Amino acid sequence: MVDEKMYELGTKKSTIRTIFEFGRKRAAEVGEENVFDFSLGNPNVPAPEFIKKAIIDIVNEMDPVALHGYTIAPGDPVARETLAKSINRRFGTSFAGKNLFMTSGAAAAITITFKALAEDGDAFITFAPFFPEYRCFVESVGARLDVVPARTEDFQIDFDAFERMITTHTKAVIVNSPNNPSGVIYSLDTIKKLTDLMRAKEKEFGHPIFLISDEPYREIAYDGIEVPYLTRYYDNTIVCYSYSKSFSLPGERIGYIVVPDEIADFGRIYGAIAGAARVLTHVNAPSLFQRVVAKCADMPSNIETYEKNGKLLYNGLIEAGFTCVKPQGAFYLFPKALEDDDVAFCERAKKYDLLLVPGTDFGCKGYFRAAYCIKTDTIERSLPLFKKLAAEYK
Amino acid sequence: MVDEKMYELGTKKSTIRTIFEFGRKRAAEVGEENVFDFSLGNPNVPAPEFIKKAIIDIVNEMDPVALHGYTIAPGDPVARETLAKSINRRFGTSFAGKNLFMTSGAAAAITITFKALAEDGDAFITFAPFFPEYRCFVESVGARLDVVPARTEDFQIDFDAFERMITTHTKAVIVNSPNNPSGVIYSLDTIKKLTDLMRAKEKEFGHPIFLISDEPYREIAYDGIEVPYLTRYYDNTIVCYSYSKSFSLPGERIGYIVVPDEIADFGRIYGAIAGAARVLTHVNAPSLFQRVVAKCADMPSNIETYEKNGKLLYNGLIEAGFTCVKPQGAFYLFPKALEDDDVAFCERAKKYDLLLVPGTDFGCKGYFRAAYCIKTDTIERSLPLFKKLAAEYK
Pairing of strands A123-127, A170-175: parallel
What are A222's strand-pairing partners?
Answer: none
Looking at the predicted structure, is the pLDDT value of residue A20 above 90?
A: no
What are A336's strand-pairing partners?
Answer: A367
Looking at the predicted structure, is the pLDDT value of residue A14 above 90?
A: no
Q: Starting at the earlier edge strand, list the strands of the sheet with B123-127.
A: B100-103, B255-258, B237-242, B210-215, B170-175, B123-127, B144-148
- What sign does the dihedral A25-A26-A27-A30 (CA atoms) show? positive
Looking at residue A201, its amino acid is K
Looking at the partner chain, which of B8, B252, B284 has a beta carbon nearest the beta carbon of A288?
B252
Closest by alpha carbon to B106, among B12, B246, B10?
A: B246
Pairing of strands B123-127, B170-175: parallel
The answer to whether the Cβ–Cβ distance between B279 and A44 falls below 8 Å is no
Question: In whole numbers, what is the pLDDT of chain A averaged over residues?
Answer: 97
Question: A196 to chain B, minimum CA–CA distance in Å?
Answer: 20
Question: In whole numbers, what is the pLDDT of chain B averaged over residues?
Answer: 97
- Is B138 at the interface with chain A, CB within 8 A? no
* Contacts with A317 (C-beta within 8 Å, 6 or more apart), sequence order: A324, A333, A335, A370, A386
- Sort A49 into a burial class: Cβ within 10 Å, 0-12 / 13-18 / 19+: exposed
- Is A3 at the interface with chain B, CB within 8 A? yes
B163 pLDDT band, cuts 50/70/90, is: very high
d(CA A32, CA B136): 48
- Is B275 at the interface with chain A, CB within 8 A? yes
A112 pLDDT band, cuts 50/70/90, is: very high
In 3-state terms chain B splits into helix, strand, coil percentages (rounded to 5) of 45, 15, 40
- Is A78 at the interface with chain B, CB within 8 A? no
Q: Own/partner pairs for B29-37, CB < 8 Å, 24+ apart?
A: B30/B353, B33/B378, B33/B381, B34/B353, B35/B353, B35/B355, B36/B352, B36/B353, B36/B354, B36/B355, B36/B378, B36/B381, B36/B382, B36/B385, B37/B355, B37/B374
Query: With contacts defined as CB-CB under 8 Å, which chain B residues touch A207?
Result: 1
What are A241's strand-pairing partners?
Answer: A215, A256
Q: Please tell me the predicted confidence (pLDDT) of residue A16.
A: 86
pTM, two decimal places: 0.97
The answer to whether the Cβ–Cβ distance between A55 and B55 falls below 8 Å is yes
The answer to whether the Cβ–Cβ distance between B274 and A70 falls below 8 Å is no
d(CA A378, CA A36): 7
Q: Please tell me the predicted confidence (pLDDT) of residue A23.
A: 93
Mutation choice for A interface testing from B279, B284, B305, B373 by most A CBs within 10 A: B279
Q: Are A169 and A146 in contact (CB under 8 A)?
A: no
- Is A108 at the interface with chain B, CB within 8 A? yes
Higher pLDDT, B16 or A343: A343
The answer to whether the Cβ–Cβ distance between A268 and B1 falls below 8 Å is yes
d(CA A101, CA A79): 10
d(CA B344, CA B388): 16
Mutation choice for A interface testing from B68, B202, B266 by most A CBs within 10 A: B68
Question: B224 to chain A, minimum CA–CA distance in Å?
Answer: 26
Interface of B with A in 10-69 (CB under 8 A): 10-11, 42-47, 51-52, 55-56, 59-60, 63-65, 67-69
Phi, psi for B391 (deg, rounded to 5): -60, -30
The answer to whether the Cβ–Cβ distance between A116 and B276 falls below 8 Å is no
The answer to whether the Cβ–Cβ distance between A288 and B284 falls below 8 Å is no
Looking at the predicted structure, is the pLDDT value of residue A356 above 90?
A: yes
A67 pLDDT band, cuts 50/70/90, is: very high
Query: Which DSSP helix (H) or strand (E) runs through A232?
Result: none
Residue B209: closest C-alpha in chain A = A1
Radius of gyration of chain A (CA): 21
HSE-CB of B352 using CA atoms within 13 angstroms: 20
The answer to whether the Cβ–Cβ distance between B51 and A68 falls below 8 Å is yes
Radius of gyration of chain B (CA): 21
Provide, rounded to the nearest whole percent, the portion of chain A with pLDDT above 70.
100
Looking at the predicted structure, is the pLDDT value of residue B122 above 90?
A: yes
Q: Please tell me the predicted confidence (pLDDT) of residue B338.
A: 98
Query: With contacts defined as CB-CB under 8 Å, which chain A residues touch B373?
Result: none
What are B370's strand-pairing partners?
Answer: B333
Q: Are A98 and A85 in contact (CB under 8 A)?
A: no
pLDDT tens string A298-328:
999 999 999 999 999 999 999 999 999 999 9
Q: Please tell me the predicted confidence (pLDDT) of residue B85.
A: 98
Looking at the partner chain, which of B68, B271, B288 has a beta carbon nearest the beta carbon of A7?
B271
Looking at the predicted structure, is the pLDDT value of residue A37 above 90?
A: yes
In 3-state terms chain A splits into helix, strand, coil percentages (rounded to 5) of 45, 15, 40
Provide, rounded to the nearest whole percent, the portion of chain B with pLDDT above 70.
100
B214 pLDDT band, cuts 50/70/90, is: very high
Q: What is the mean pLDDT of residues B85-107?
A: 97
Question: B153 to chain A, minimum CA–CA distance in Å?
Answer: 33
Looking at the predicted structure, is the pLDDT value of residue A13 above 90?
A: no
d(CA A195, CA A173): 10
What one-character DSSP code corresponds to residue A221? Answer: B
* Cβ neighbours of A30 (radius 10 Å): 11
Q: Please tell me the predicted confidence (pLDDT) of residue B17.
A: 84
Looking at the partner chain, which of A68, A116, A274 has a beta carbon nearest the beta carbon of B249?
A68
Query: With contacts defined as CB-CB under 8 Å, which chain B residues touch A108?
Result: 281
In Å, how far from its chain's centre is CA A168?
27
The answer to whether the Cβ–Cβ distance between A275 and B137 falls below 8 Å is no
Distances (CA, A) of A175 to A198, A242, B213: 13, 15, 41
Report helix, strand or coil for A190: helix
Q: Please tell me the predicted confidence (pLDDT) of residue B226.
A: 93
The answer to whether the Cβ–Cβ distance between A63 and B56 falls below 8 Å is no
d(CA B101, CA A205): 45
d(CA A330, CA B19): 47
Interface of A with B in 208-247 (CB under 8 A): 208
Closest by alpha carbon to A332, among A91, A31, A131?
A: A131
The answer to whether the Cβ–Cβ distance between A59 and B67 falls below 8 Å is no
- Helices A266-279 and A105-117: angle between axes, nearest 10 degrees: 120
Q: Are A126 and A161 in contact (CB under 8 A)?
A: no
Looking at the predicted structure, is the pLDDT value of residue B10 above 90?
A: yes
Q: Please tell me the predicted confidence (pLDDT) of residue B6.
A: 96
Pairing of strands A144-148, B36-37: unpaired
